[in-house]
Amino acid sequence: MKTRFLAVLGFLLLSLAQVFAADEFAIDPVHSSANFSVKHLTISTVHGRFSDISGTIIYDEKNPAKSSVQAVIKTASVNTDNATRDKDLRSANFFDTDKYPEMRFQSTKVEKIGDQLQVTGNLTIKDVTRQISFPITLVQGEARGKTRLGIDFSTVVNRFDYNISYDQTGATVGKDIKIDVSVEAVKNTPAGTAPK
């Protein structure tokens, strides 16, 4: 009986150690952005960005499968450096920001493939949720007294998949949107302890 109790206790302690091995990081909106590019008239490329990003990253360096990502982007923060175009992007023609103020990403799986991490999850834009998957580049380090993550990734989505259906031909505004995201996240410090 004693041996069994010790085995169960050891298992519980090991499980707790694995849970607490993962660190929680808060996305720093000041140093993060979601950039995008799309073809205009099938000739030139228009670039833009969303500047209002927030969210949480759980990162377990020893066991990446226990990691996760949750992020929110405010759609009204879209900026292409052209006021007229930005107003159109906020309208019902595109993101309809009054009705759909946020787009969201929630990971469902993080796996290590070779030397790279692959993230799979659900991207919600407007009233549509679809699964996407992409490799990420991740750097962890100490800066200004805190542990930080730097994450970069690129992917391509079809805007028609998310009911962003202005110009169904794709001749004026291309259907494929290239997304380039750069995120800096800062490790959360438990209350009552000094930051690392």
Q: Where are the domains of the chain?
A: 22-187
Closest CA to 22 of 54, 55, 69: 69
Predicted pLDDT of residue 192: 40
Query: Tokens in use for 88?
Result: 């159109």
pLDDT, tens only, 73-118: 999 999 999 999 999 999 999 999 999 999 999 999 999 988 889 9
Residue 191's pLDDT band (cuts 50, 70, 90)? very low
Place of tokens 């990691």: 67
Residue 66: how many other CB atoms lie within 10 Å:
15
Strand extents, DSSP E, 95-145:
102-113, 116-125, 128-143
Question: What does the mean pLDDT of the chain come to?
Answer: 88
pLDDT, tens only, 13-63: 444 444 456 899 999 999 999 999 999 998 999 999 999 999 999 999 999
d(CA 151, CA 27): 10
CB crowding 15-28: b at 16 or more within 10 Å, else e: eeeeeeebbebebe
Residue 175's pLDDT band (cuts 50, 70, 90)? very high
Place of tokens 């150690």: 17
- At the second CATH level, the architecture of 22-187 is Beta Barrel (2.40)
Residue 187: pLDDT over 50:
yes
